[in-house]
Amino acid sequence: QLVQSGAEVKKPGASVKVSCKASGYTFDSYGITWVRQAPGQGLEWMGRISVYFYNTIYAQKFQGRVTMAAETSTKTAYMELRSLRSEDTAVYYCARGTTGTFDLWGQGTRVTVSS
Amino acid sequence: SALTQPASVSGSPGQSITISCIGTSSDVGGYNSVSWYQQYPDKAPKLMIYEDTNRSSGVSNRFSGSKSGNTASLTISGLQADDEADYYCCSYTSNTTHVFGGGTKLAVL
């Protein structure tokens, strides 16, 4: 399973770091993809990290503002989003897989950006 | 940009419905990499179909995926009340990224 960190409330301009702890499978055999969903909106692909090769691909929209990382010793993936604005208010999900077969999802982390 | 899905579809119990997902030759039409997800309100998405036509483990055979050119489709046969949910398609792209469709709300009347 994938277990994510708890809800966050941040002020505009701040950063948020969401964690995603894996269990029950070989962590570095799969990548981790991050997806977000704004209130009442659809799913938005943010990017992915290949845990084994430790390389990342980000959606152009988030380039320069997002960093994805993975720590094999703790089987935990992280997504940090900086320079937060109100439009970043969303539920952030991690999912196992990088090829489009996202077969295991975290429970989601609600991030609220508000002054 | 996002793949194009109808905002909503509806059907009666027992009927069949199809949800379309329109892309381009740079995504849907260029790779065998369309997946479909089911999402209930306030729940995480669930993988239903991967690589265009393959059912995920444990998914009912009432769900099937297909593709023709730049359009992928999800068909649900024998509609049941608990099929009522949001459905999203997703495709790999030529930019080595992925893109989701806007989502389709399925109502079982």
Task: Give chain A's mean pLDDT.
Answer: 96
Record: contact A45-B92, CB cut-off 8 A: no
Q: Which of A43, A57, A105 sits opposite B88 (nearest CB)?
A: A43
**Is it the case that residue B65 has pLDDT exceeding 90?**
yes
pLDDT band at A52 (very low <50, low <70, confident <90, very high): confident
Q: What is the pLDDT of residue B1?
A: 78
- Please give the pLDDT value at position B75: 98
Mean pLDDT of A41-45: 97
Q: How far apart are CA A103 and CA B80, in angstroms?
A: 23
The answer to whether residues B90 and A105 touch, using CB atoms and an 8 Å cutoff, is no
Contact: B45, A102; criterion CB under 8 Å: yes
Q: Give CA–CA dist B47/B102, Å, rounded.
A: 16
Contacts by A77-80, CB closer than 8 A, 24 or more apart: A77/A19, A77/A20, A77/A22, A77/A32, A77/A49, A77/A51, A78/A17, A78/A18, A78/A19, A78/A20, A79/A17, A79/A18, A79/A20, A79/A34, A79/A46, A80/A15, A80/A16, A80/A17, A80/A18
What does the pLDDT read at residue A62? 96
pLDDT at A99 over 90: no
Alpha carbon A15 to chain centroid, angstroms? 13
Q: Which residue of A101, A103, A107 to mutate against B (max B Cβ within 10 Å)? A: A101
Q: Which residue in B44, B50, B103 is closest to A93 by CB distance?
A: B44
Mean pLDDT of B69-88: 98
Please say if the pLDDT value at position A100 is more than 90: no
Residues B3-30: pLDDT tens digits?
A: 999 999 999 999 999 999 999 999 999 9
**Can you give the pLDDT at residue A54?**
87
